[in-house]
Amino acid sequence: MLIASRNVAPAMAADCCMVLKPSQLTPVTALELGQIALDAGLSAGVLNIVTALAPRLARR
């Protein structure tokens, strides 16, 4: 979660929308970060988390 929050924080400070693609091995920590952001008052759609497997993303 430390790496994800370190990358997301500057975008949040600059009031930018962002997409976070966590590691396939640790998607739950990124989802927890998303829930924390919602609980803190971040608007829905500002932080988008994609948890699909990489091969599935490449086919679309």
pTM for this predicted structure: 0.72
CA distance 52 to 56: 7
Of the two residues 47 and 13, the one the predictor is more confident about is 47
Task: Supply the pLDDT for residue 51.
Answer: 85
Question: For residue 50, how many other CB atoms are within 10 A of its CB?
Answer: 11
pLDDT tens, position by position, 14-55: 878 999 888 888 889 889 989 998 998 888 888 999 987 766
Where are the domains positioned within the chain? Answer: 2-54
**Sign of the C-alpha dihedral, residues 32, 2, 10, 24?**
negative
CA distance 7 to 23: 14
